[in-house]
Amino acid sequence: MQTARTLELLRKSLAELRQDGGSVALVPTMGALHEGHLTLVREAREAADHVVASIFVNPRQFGEGEDLDAYPRQLQRDSELLEAEGVELLWAPTPDEVYPEGYATNISVAGVSAGLCGGDRPGHFDGVATVVCKLFNQVMPDMAFFGEKDWQQLAVIRRMARDLDLMRPHVDAIRGVPIVREEDGLAMSSRNAYLSARQREQAAALPKAMRDAIAVLAEGGEADRPLGNLREALRVSGFQSVDYAEIRDADSLAPLARDNGNSRLFVAARIGGTRLIDNMAVS
Ligand code: PAF
């Protein structure tokens, strides 16, 4: 596996990779890789001739007081994992390479970025859209793979790619991959590493409370009561706060008062200093 840390080297390595005319899949990550990321790589390998992964902890998607400095960085370990999965090229730029002196451009996607994580983390999706647009322009992949754990992020990226004609015009260029869960149901996340042993045990209440709420929501009644019960279940299990617990249309992300036959439950909740997010299909 080659590792490029400058745009010049990236371009040279991509030219070599593309010599056989095969397709290229991109798996963008911020590193601290877990089984969820490796599943993206495996899906990418199935779908394309060559896989390029990127690791870049993007400062523009972290707000003030968020965990940019604490975010786990383990390039050596991540490189070994990617190489073992058959990634041929790793793009691991420095912040200066991505945002050189004088950088002044921002991409903002309206609509699907409103509310949920977009409400709690102002500017977050601008940072995501901006860096993903840059990654697409840098690597020019035929397709790109993202985890469905960040369902709203996926919707933002799909909207941006359509609006800005970023990928080749086949519908399925932006691929979402289902959430990978631990045995107790907790969605895998690089941020799970922040949890103490006790918090990690308590965190399993999140997927359980969501499944319990879905059992009721799927009957089609008003969402208020099951969502209230979900908040209470998390509180008694040791979560400090619930940033949001909502059902929304899975595609448009329009807020819903009850299941519409295509809805998902979205939750963000805090345990210790750690903010966990998850989402599940209601119907
Ligand atoms: O999901 C992530 O890891 C990041 O938001 C992404 C898509 C790599 C952009 O920095």
Closest-CA residue to 238 (of 211, 264, 212, 276): 276
Structural domain includes residue 182: no
What is residue 170's predicted lDDT score, i.e. its pLDDT? 60
Domain coverage including residue 82: 2-177
Shared domain check, 31 and 154:
yes
Structural domain includes residue 62: yes
Shared domain check, 91 and 154:
yes
What is the Å distance from ligand 1's center to 128 Cα? 6
Beta-carbon contacts of residue 191 (< 8 Å; ≥ 6 apart):
67, 274, 275, 276
Ligand 1 pocket test, pick from 38, 109, 146 with the greatest ligand atom count within 8 Å of Cβ, gives 146
Residue 264's DSSP bridge partners are 248, 281
The number of domains in the chain is: 2
The CATH number that applies at residue 22 is 3.40.50.620
* Catalytic entry in 37, 50, 124, 170: 37
What is the Å distance from ligand 1's center to 212 Cα? 29
Residue nearest to atom 2 of ligand 1 (CA): 29
Give how far Cα 212 sits from Cα of 15, 18, 142, 278, Å.
Answer: 51, 48, 39, 14
Structural domain includes residue 184: no
Shared domain check, 15 and 129:
yes
Shared domain check, 205 and 170:
no
Ligand 1 pocket test, pick from 58, 121, 152, 191 with the greatest ligand atom count within 8 Å of Cβ, gives 58
Question: Region 174-181: what's the mean pLDDT?
Answer: 97
What is residue 24's predicted lDDT score, i.e. its pLDDT? 96
| Domain final residue, candidates 177, 200, 215 | 177
| Domain final residue, candidates 121, 145, 177 | 177
pLDDT in tens, 47-66: 999 999 999 999 999 999 99
Residue nearest to atom 3 of ligand 1 (CA): 29
Structural domain includes residue 45: yes
The tokens for 266 are 């979205």
Q: Is the pLDDT of residue 171 over 70?
A: no
Shared domain check, 230 and 151:
no
Shared domain check, 201 and 99:
no
Residue 34 annotated among the catalytic residues of the structure: no
Question: Region 229-242: what's the mean pLDDT?
Answer: 98
What is residue 52's predicted lDDT score, i.e. its pLDDT? 98
Q: Is the pLDDT of residue 150 over 70?
A: yes
Task: Provide Rg for the chain, Cα atoms.
Answer: 19
Shared domain check, 237 and 107:
no
Shared domain check, 203 and 171:
no
Question: Region 7-22: what's the mean pLDDT?
Answer: 98
Shared domain check, 223 and 148:
no
Shared domain check, 217 and 115:
no
Ligand 1 atom closest to Cα of 135?
9
Shared domain check, 106 and 78:
yes
What percent of the chain has pLDDT above 70?
99
CA 196: distance to chain centroid? 23
What is residue 169's predicted lDDT score, i.e. its pLDDT? 54
pLDDT in tens, 137-147: 999 999 999 99
pLDDT in tens, 239-272: 999 999 999 999 999 999 999 999 999 999 999 9
Whether ligand 1 lies within 6 angstroms of the CB of 126 is answered as no
The CATH number that applies at residue 276 is 3.30.1300.10
Give how far Cα 243 sits from Cα of 109, 149, 231, 240, 282, Å.
Answer: 22, 16, 10, 10, 20
CB atoms within 10 A of CB 213: 25
Indicate the length of the chain as a whole number: 283
Question: Region 148-169: what's the mean pLDDT?
Answer: 92
Residue nearest to atom 6 of ligand 1 (CA): 29
What is residue 167's predicted lDDT score, i.e. its pLDDT? 78
Whether ligand 1 lies within 6 angstroms of the CB of 174 is answered as no
Structural domain includes residue 185: no
